[in-house]
Amino acid sequence: MTAFMRKNKRVIPGFGLSFGVTVAALGFIVLIPLCSLVVFSSGISFKEFAAVVTSPRVRASYLVSFETSLIAAVIDACLGLILAWTLVRYDFPGKKIMNGVIELPFALPTAVAGIALTHLTTTNGWVGSLFAKFGIEIAYTRIGITTALVFIGIPFVVRATQPVLAKLDVQYEEAARILGANGRQTMMDVIFPEILPALVGGFTLSFARGLGEYGSVVFIAGNQPYKTEIAPLMIMSKLQEYDYASATSIALVMLLVAFLILFINAVLQSRTSKIVSGIS
């Protein structure tokens, strides 16, 4: 009996207290602020709520946010996988510095990133002037918004796939080569199924972060109605007009979309993990 109790003894004692602190912290930090959106939105009728969230200008802002966030997440998934692969599989001078720079978008204030990217991508900037010669404008267009979202979203993909690649045993690749598989077959049949759940998770987090991003986008977007206005900007505009009901209504829609994205992410990761387990 004593051996059984020792075996089941928790490293951190006091489950009741720990669980209570966890629930309380989660409530104060997450649930109560989110519930306030529902409370403020309930101050208007459903007809008024529907009129606000489906107005042409708000719908256009939804489209801009979804389109640019999705494109940026796809780019992040591709570039992030390449970056993670390089950091894990190769040794080169400055590797530790590059590994630290990956997390710079997490630490850098988003407004600073937005201002810097705007100066770089205007027609007089270092990058924007090069593309301007070919008639391509970056700043104050959806291309500029996508560029900013790629910048702030790529760490999610890198940090999600990097640990999986680091734990992946090289012997599986060697066995595949011995059995006659070429590089593409080894990548698609051996490596990619293992990193797919992490890659899906990183892609989803990048997409969700892009939908809610404001600071790094508001400067480079140009904020042209029906063209480069994003949904978070519409929320800020309503708040500046002291129209709290409309602002919280739009925010509530974005909150529901965020929950839907996280739910889809959980389902996709669960299914891809089962598929990978079945293959292995």
Nearby residues of 3 by Cβ (< 8 Å), 6 or more positions away = none
Do 64 and 278 contact (CB within 8 A), yes or no? no
- The rounded distance, in Å, linking the Cα atoms of 262 and 91 is 35
- What was the pLDDT predicted at 73? 95
CA 19 to chain centre: 29
Q: Return d(Cα 95, Cα 102) in angstroms, integer.
A: 11
Per-residue pLDDT of the chain (280 residues; tens, 9 = 90+): 454 445 555 665 567 777 777 877 777 777 776 676 666 666 777 888 888 889 999 999 999 999 999 999 999 999 999 999 999 888 889 888 888 888 888 888 888 888 989 989 988 888 888 898 888 899 999 999 999 999 999 999 999 999 988 888 777 777 777 777 777 777 777 788 888 888 988 999 899 899 988 888 988 988 888 899 999 999 888 888 888 888 888 888 888 888 888 888 888 777 766 665 665 5
Please tell me the predicted confidence (pLDDT) of residue 11.
60
Per DSSP, the three-state class of 168 is coil
As a whole number of angstroms, the distance between CA 68 and CA 212 comes to 12
Closest by Cα among 225, 189, 280, 250 to 48 = 250
As a whole number of angstroms, the distance between CA 89 and CA 68 comes to 31
> Global pTM?
0.83
